[in-house]
Chain A
Amino acid sequence: MAVAFIGVRHHSPACARLVRETIARLRPAYVLVEGPADFGDRLDELLLGHEPPVAIFSYHRDGERVHSSWTPFCGYSPEWIALHDGRAAGAEVRFIDLPAWHPALAGRANRYADADRRYAEVAERLCREFAVDNTDVLWDHLFEIGDADGLGERLDAYFDLLRGEAEAGEDDTEREAYMASWIRAAEDAAGGRPVLVVTGGFHTPALRALIADGPRAWPRVPSPPDGALGGSFLVPYSFRRLDAFTGYQSGMPSPEYYRRLWESGPERAAEALTETVVTRLRERGQRVSTADLIAARTLTEGLTRLRGHRAPARTDILDGLVAALVTDDLDQRLPWTSRGPLAPGAHPAVLEMVTALSGDRVGRLHADTPAPPLVHDTAAELERLGLDRAGTVALKLADPRGLARSRALHRLRVLRVPGFVRDEGPRTGADPVLKERWTLAAADRDPARLSALIEAGAYGPTLADAAAAALDERMAGAGTDMAALAAVLFDAALCGCAGQSDRIAASLAAGIAGASDIAGLGAALGVVLGLWRHDRVLGTARSPLFGTVVAGCAERVLWLVEGVRGGPAPADPGRLHALAATRDALLHAAGPLRERAGLDRDTALGVARRVAANPDVPPDLRGAAFGLARALGDTADPARAVRGAAGPRTFGDWLAGLFALARQDVLDDGSSVLGVLDEMVTALADDDFLVALPALRQAFAFFPPRERETIAGRLLGRRGAAGSARALLRTAGDPVLIAEAKALERRAGQALAAAGLLPGGTP
């Protein structure tokens, strides 16, 4: 047959070797490779002589969706070898798959992801049959370490089996039909000379069947719908990112190991891997003795033989090392057994192994590669907005042009492009500042700016897309750190990226689910709720993304609050603010809460009542929960509850909680709380009063001055005394004297700090 197929697994060195041998043997007229057909006329760009890993980054934007994806290549990718060797052998080289923007590829961020994720059942049965834990181990066993003879037949059998039982999805069928049309045309054009087709092995059985009949003219490269914005360009890639695809997007793991396997064979790869792991561990002060290394080597040998390998495979080395080097119990399953990413808190030895296998290689593009569109887009954008000059710029955020300029500058800031510094502007979502002042450096004096922009080009073609992608990445890196997440979120608002990405919402929600710091969550909730309710300038008011976050935070705070236990302790303002923010969310964002978190007033009220009534909960939280219940419409009598919280050591803290959430209960005309309080404070013995005083002061600090005046007036009224309530709040001393005393205190504080006698440094 004139058409030869090689079904590969993407990024497999064994397949790359087979492709290389086949091209040398067949000297084909055409080499057809699974890759974006719309990049076909720019293959020269791809063959300039880059240092892999590099990737074709594709983006697309139309009225309905935004999509960006990568087609990554390593030096040992079968596709990369097919392109290079094919060209060198004088063959016509073509990409034959649908473009990345095509709806058939809409769900994919990594074109070269494994297909077996989508057809897991057969793969699972195979694993069971070969007594291995997952398809990566199976793949090594069958192909990477297996005999080179008959590799092609084994690959065909494997993929036939995988495909034979699986019903291909609609998307796959569409792509296969398109690829088959290229193959048929090439077969005709070759006129009897061989044609080599290199595609994902999962497609091969279908392609074989499809080339028999159908039109034989060269197919058209589909063009994107009218009005759509899109394109593809080359970006440097890294092994870290290649290894970071998870779930159904993932491909072969451990790129550094497979690079070594490709370059120097299994024995040398095993040696190098062991050496790297041991060096890294010793650098970090972990003890690795010669005896351990001998044990690891022995175990690896034993495993290699037990599993019937001619040379140690990836997991033989890893299993040997882990058995010999780890002398503790592990907290999580080994990542190469469970085939998932490493969770935080992994054993240091395991962490070093995974890192060493993953490698830190970063690709580099040839100097003649065209600059990514971001560079041009940024220059145009800055010129359009009049920001292409050095100096200071003052912006009004309420003005549309001011807002556009502010967003552009913030986008450059989050992309870490140097030369744009904000001197003034809103710091939090609740900040009522509507002006910003920036200092811009001249572009031509800053060579770092161009290189930063080229680097940032991998994030996207335009400032808006790139900033959104950079924010995504930061958000993923922030993990469960709510303060960091809130900062990213605020940046997203400043950049005008708020409603843009579902991924942002997803990673934020994931962060919330794992967060355990109530104060941090509360701070985030405060910021987000402020933006969700009020922010019309930045356009985040009622944004669904922020609504999701509000719902998630409020739900999580309630969950965490119910778990707090502890005896009497000073009131924790962060915790109280978190509950206050939750109350605001329940009152003002009831819609999203019910929709997204299934959280309604009754559920929250249930939590509040249980916490308020639980004697094991710290007093401030009990008071706050009581206040929350009142705010949500509970009618329990606060005066009675105040009495119940008695005890000079606790009731100040309890009140702090109550006042943080429900000050109005004290101020209401018919309220008896003040009377009860007055009674209790009057009844306190002198010693008890001194004990209670600091907490009481803190509690009453939740009232603004005007309300304090009201309270003072009521107290005067209760005692039948006439006089100015305001005077009661004033200090008795001469203000000048107090100011002098304060100044003296400050000087003493400075002197102490200078002598290093004051904890915390500055007074």
Chain B
Amino acid sequence: MTHDTADYQRPPAEVRFADELERLREDDTGHRPPGWALSLTAARRFVTGDDALGVTRKFVGDTALIDRALVTLATSRGLMLVGEPGTAKSLLSELIAAAVGGTSTLTIQGGAATTEDQIKYSWNYALLVSEGPSTRSLVPAPLLTGMAEGRIVRFEEITRCPPEVQDSLLSPLSDRVLSVPELTGPDAMVFARDGFNVIATANTRDRGVNEMSAALKRRFNFETVFPISDFATELDLVEAEAARLLEHSGVRAAPRRDVLEVLVTTFRELRNATTEDGRAMDRLGAVMSTAEAVSVAHAVGVRGWFLRGEPGGAADIVECLAGTAAKDSPEDLARLRRYLEQQAPRRSGEQWRALHAARHLLPG
């Protein structure tokens, strides 16, 4: 990298973990699929971690999922990561793209306003007018670049795009070719080089907004990314992330473990719609992801420190939950209130009692 990246707010994965990738490349003895920067085993170690090489674990989840994802990318089908919001789909796609293709920046952000121009290519209109269509006036978008250079292209939130825009992926994925009809001669057809493939992510909460066509679904292998299944792992992650954020915000009190336990348990129970001892409850309409738990933990810490000069307690959780979990939905607020009224007092422990006692802090 020639640029100075020190003051980037968030450098891409291949920059953040450049030294780890370098070590893995040197140590890599496995077979590389054509066009890949690393072998499959090395790419897997990049994601799941390798203590011997000092490679950190970057994604908490099933190893089998990573295996399937990598093998899929080595075949002729694209990889579709689906799941609830906040399950680190985009992070996983970024990590895999960086490991496999060496760059994670060929990214299309899907949205209601995404057009084919932003996916395939557009024109430099000044040049187009003066010179006519040529490779000089062509402005390649991520898909064209990825195909021409043999890289992984990331398509975020694909189901946010209108179906006709989604379908522009059909021929690049099946025939592995992109035609540029404005040009003539060999430039009119861009053939995908080895190493090209697509990782798309989609949000299950968007299901039904823009349903994918069967033709496109057939060209992807679907992988569902689940919230973290293990309580202790999730608690550790929330603690570490919250501590990092709090330090960044100038809070000098570390979050209390017992408060975080209550917070994470609450999030898990409301997310899974069952209590830890197996009682069925209502599922909250709002997203109760680990990422949300981190942001609540952050807010709790900030409240506690700047309002009272202490780490923040269960009462702060209640105040913050109203904003995160309930958002603007009165139904969710009612569900949350019912949870605090009837489930919280069943638990033992000081923080659970405090949570129950603070239930009247919920608005409305």
Chain B residues in 8 Å Cβ range of A606: 341
Residues of chain B in range 222-250 having any CB-CB distance to chain A below 8 Å:
222-224, 226, 229
Q: Is the CB of B278 within 8 A of A327?
A: no
Q: Is the CB of B67 within 8 A of A513?
A: no
Q: Is the CB of B341 within 8 A of A562?
A: yes
Q: Is the CB of B217 within 8 A of A131?
A: no
**Known contacts A302-B71, A333-B229, A513 near B277 by CB under 8 Å:** yes
Chain A residues in 8 Å Cβ range of B281: 559
Q: Check if A443 is an interface residue, CB within 8 A of chain B.
A: no
Binds A, one of B15-23, B75-83, B182-190: B75-83
Q: Check if A326 is an interface residue, CB within 8 A of chain B.
A: yes
Q: Give which listed residue, A306, A320, A514, A563, contacts B44 with CB less than 8 A.
A: A306
Q: Which 7 A-B pairs have the closest CB atoms?
A: A302-B71, A329-B82, A330-B224, A513-B279, A323-B221, A514-B280, A327-B217
Question: Which residue in chain B gives the minimum CB-CB distance to A315?
Answer: B64
Query: Binary interface profile of A, 667-698, with partner B (CB < 8 Å = 1, else 0)?
Result: 00000000000000000000000000000000
**Known contacts A328-B222, A329-B82, A515-B280, A323 near B72 by CB under 8 Å:** yes
Q: Is the CB of B334 within 8 A of A513?
A: no
Chain B residues in 8 Å Cβ range of A598: 345-346
Q: Is the CB of B68 within 8 A of A303?
A: yes
Interface-centre pick from A315, A323, A334, A598 (highest chain B CB count, 10 A) = A323
**Known contacts A295-B75, A307-B67, A131 near B44 by CB under 8 Å:** yes
Cα A598 to Cα B348 in complex, Å, equals 12
Q: Which residues of chain B have a CB within 8 Å of any CB of chain A?
A: 40-41, 44-45, 48, 62-65, 67-68, 70-72, 74-75, 77, 82-83, 202, 204, 207, 217-218, 220-224, 226, 229, 274, 277-282, 331, 334-335, 338, 341-342, 345-346
Chain A residues in 8 Å Cβ range of B82: 328-329
Cα A299 to Cα B41 in complex, Å, equals 15
Question: Which residue in chain B gives the minimum CB-CB distance to A338?
Answer: B229
Q: Is the CB of A514 within 8 A of B221?
A: no
5 contacts between A and B (CB under 8 A): A131-B63, A133-B64, A327-B220, A513-B280, A565-B331
Question: Which residue in chain B gives the minimum CB-CB distance to A333?
Answer: B226
Query: Binary interface profile of A, 357-384, with partner B (CB < 8 Å = 1, else 0)?
Result: 0000000000000000000000000000
**Known contacts A131-B48, A514-B280, A333 near B62 by CB under 8 Å:** yes
Cα A133 to Cα B188 in complex, Å, equals 47
Q: Is the CB of A303 within 8 A of B279?
A: no
Range for the number of chain A residues in contact with chain B: 35 or more
Q: Check if A510 is an interface residue, CB within 8 A of chain B.
A: yes
Query: Binary interface profile of A, 320-343, with partner B (CB < 8 Å = 1, else 0)?
Result: 101110111110011001100000
Cα A307 to Cα B345 in complex, Å, equals 48
Residues of chain A in range 588-616 having any CB-CB distance to chain B below 8 Å:
598, 603, 606-607, 610, 616
Q: Give which listed residue, B218, B221, B331, contacts A291 with CB less than 8 A.
A: B218
Q: Give which listed residue, B64, B74, B342, contacts A319 with CB less than 8 A.
A: B64
The secondary structure that dominates the B interface is helix
Q: Is the CB of A329 within 8 A of B222?
A: yes
Q: Check if A132 is an interface residue, CB within 8 A of chain B.
A: yes
Question: Which residue in chain A gives the minimum CB-CB distance to B275?
Answer: A513
- The smallest C-beta distance from A354 to any residue of chain B, in angstroms, reads 15
Q: Check if A558 is an interface residue, CB within 8 A of chain B.
A: yes
Chain A residues in 8 Å Cβ range of B218: 291, 327
Q: Check if A664 is an interface residue, CB within 8 A of chain B.
A: no
Q: Is the CB of B280 within 8 A of A565?
A: no
Query: Binary interface profile of A, 611-626, with partner B (CB < 8 Å = 1, else 0)?
Result: 0000010000000000
- The smallest C-beta distance from A615 to any residue of chain B, in angstroms, reads 12
Chain B residues in 8 Å Cβ range of A616: 334
Chain A residues in 8 Å Cβ range of B65: 337
Q: Give which listed residue, A133, A328, A559, contacts B342 with CB less than 8 A.
A: A559
Q: Check if A516 is an interface residue, CB within 8 A of chain B.
A: yes
**Known contacts A299-B72, A558-B342, A563 near B282 by CB under 8 Å:** yes
- The smallest C-beta distance from B171 to any residue of chain A, in angstroms, reads 17
Q: Is the CB of B68 within 8 A of A323?
A: yes
Q: Is the CB of A298 within 8 A of B342?
A: no
Cα A137 to Cα B224 in complex, Å, equals 20
Q: Is the CB of B220 within 8 A of A299?
A: no
Interface-centre pick from A131, A133, A510, A516 (highest chain B CB count, 10 A) = A131
Chain B residues in 8 Å Cβ range of A307: 67
Chain B residues in 8 Å Cβ range of A513: 277-280
Chain B residues in 8 Å Cβ range of A563: 282, 334-335, 338
Cα A329 to Cα B341 in complex, Å, equals 34
Chain A residues in 8 Å Cβ range of B70: 306
Q: Is the CB of B280 within 8 A of A133?
A: no
Cα A243 to Cα B282 in complex, Å, equals 31
Chain A residues in 8 Å Cβ range of B274: 514
Cα A329 to Cα B224 in complex, Å, equals 5
Question: Which residue in chain B gives the minimum CB-CB distance to A331?
Answer: B224
Cα A337 to Cα B221 in complex, Å, equals 18
Cα A441 to Cα B48 in complex, Å, equals 67
Chain B residues in 8 Å Cβ range of A295: 75, 77, 221
- The smallest C-beta distance from A608 to any residue of chain B, in angstroms, reads 12
Interface-centre pick from B62, B220, B229, B331 (highest chain A CB count, 10 A) = B62
Q: Is the CB of B62 within 8 A of A133?
A: yes
Chain A residues in 8 Å Cβ range of B204: 329
Q: Is the CB of B64 within 8 A of A306?
A: no
Chain B residues in 8 Å Cβ range of A323: 68, 71-72, 221-223
Q: Is the CB of B229 within 8 A of A514?
A: no
Cα A329 to Cα B89 in complex, Å, equals 13
Chain B residues in 8 Å Cβ range of A327: 217-218, 220, 222
Given A323-B72, A606-B341, 20 other A-B residues pairs in contact with their CB atoms under 8 A: A133-B63, A306-B70, A306-B71, A307-B67, A323-B71, A323-B221, A323-B223, A327-B217, A327-B218, A328-B222, A329-B82, A333-B229, A334-B64, A516-B280, A559-B338, A563-B282, A565-B334, A603-B342, A607-B342, A610-B341
Cα A306 to Cα B39 in complex, Å, equals 9
Chain B residues in 8 Å Cβ range of A337: 62, 64-65
Question: Which residue in chain B gives the minimum CB-CB distance to A558?
Answer: B342
Residues of chain A in range 475-499 having any CB-CB distance to chain B below 8 Å:
480
Cα A322 to Cα B221 in complex, Å, equals 9
Q: Give which listed residue, B75, B331, B334, contacts A302 with CB less than 8 A.
A: B75
Cα A319 to Cα B83 in complex, Å, equals 18
Cα A610 to Cα B364 in complex, Å, equals 13
Interface-centre pick from B64, B74, B218 (highest chain A CB count, 10 A) = B64
Cα A328 to Cα B274 in complex, Å, equals 24
Chain A residues in 8 Å Cβ range of B72: 299, 323
Question: Which residue in chain A gives the minimum CB-CB distance to B33?
Answer: A302
Cα A326 to Cα B63 in complex, Å, equals 19
Chain A residues in 8 Å Cβ range of B279: 513-514, 556, 559
- The smallest C-beta distance from A298 to any residue of chain B, in angstroms, reads 5
Query: Binary interface profile of A, 508-541, with partner B (CB < 8 Å = 1, else 0)?
Result: 0010011110000000000000000000000000
